[in-house]
Amino acid sequence: MMTTTDAYAATAVDTADHSGVSWAAVFAGAAGAAALSLILILLGFGLGFSAVSPWPGDGATLKQMGISTVIWLMLTQILASGLGGYVAGRLRVRWASLHDDEVYFRDTAHGFLAWAVATLVTATLVVGSVSSIVGGGLQASASAATSAAAAAGSTHGANRSNDGSGYFIDMLFRDNRPVAVSDDAAHAIATRIFVRSLAEGQLNADDRTYLARVVAQRTEISQAEAEQRIDQVFGAAQQAKLKAQQAADTARKVAAGSALWMFVALLCGAFFASFLAIHGGRRRDAVVLVNRTPAHVSSHSRPAH
């Protein structure tokens, strides 16, 4: 370990006419931090994929994966940012004729700048990758939606099921006579009634009676059996909607928690980068200025006796 008495060849720079920022040291520290971040992130992905499993009861749970992800993110920020800050502080030029407080501030600024540059570079790479994935997913969803809309239009001749007015138009033609409709039309009527009833949270009596007549006619069962079947299916649809809402709420909470913990991790990264830059700068200033004279010069310059 180097002590304050260790001697290395070094030069001091008069900072009167020089910038207070050693950008070469900042970019060197940022490059080291970004590279280590990439290595640790890839390692984290590998460990994470090896811990999960598509089979129920096998592998880590969602809560365990969330906790381990937060811990790994914090560790990645501390190690990578600390390395970048130390490198930036150790490689910056030695400032001459500066007060200790100014040296302290500049070292802190160098560590912070190295962390900031590394964070921007890493964020650009990560956001670019995520954007390509999300963009592909949105394009696939749009294609699927377009295909579904085209299929619905070719089947029914009109996209009334996608329009809220279709439900009210169906109500205009309701009567007590047998409903002489095709299977596709009956399915479309049931779909519109279910969509509206699920949005309202309940199936009103008129819709239930009318839908039971349609079901009884198409399936050749009694009115009472059709109403019982409707109640069962509508209850199952409500449970599925509730589960979807719970999953969306869980995803919202996970996203909010991840953003907050990422904020904390980035703050830790900025702190450790600045702190280790101070340490690296002090180690840099501990270098003792020496003049090394070549051996052949000293031998020829000896006075003759």
pLDDT computed for residue 46 by the predictor: 84
Contacts of 230 by beta carbon, 8 Å cutoff, 6+ apart:
203, 208, 211, 212, 215
- Specify whether the CB–CB gap between 51 and 59 falls below 8 A: yes
Predicted confidence (pLDDT) at residue 10 exceeds the cutoff of 70: no
The rounded distance, in Å, linking the Cα atoms of 192 and 63 is 38
Q: Does the pLDDT at position 152 exceed 70? A: no
The 8-class DSSP code of residue 14 comes to E
pLDDT for 218 = 77
Residue whose entry in the numeric block shows the structure tokens 């719970």: 246
Residue 252 has pLDDT above 50, yes or no: yes
Predicted local confidence at residue 30, as pLDDT: 93
Tokens for 84, please give them: 């970048």
pTM of the model: 0.61
14-18, 217-221, 260-264, range with greatest mean pLDDT: 260-264
* pLDDT over 90 (residue 84): yes
pLDDT digits (tens, 9 = 90+) for 183-218: 677 778 788 888 888 888 888 888 888 888 888 877
User: What pLDDT score was predicted for residue 154?
Assistant: 44
What is d(CA 281, CA 275) in angstroms, rounded to the nearest whole number?
10
pLDDT tens-digit series, residues 40-58: 888 888 887 787 776 766 7
Residue 215 to residue 94: CA distance in whole angstroms: 87
Per-residue burial over 18-45, b = 16 or more CB atoms within 10 Å of its CB, e = otherwise: eeeebeebbbbbbbbbbbbbbebbeebe
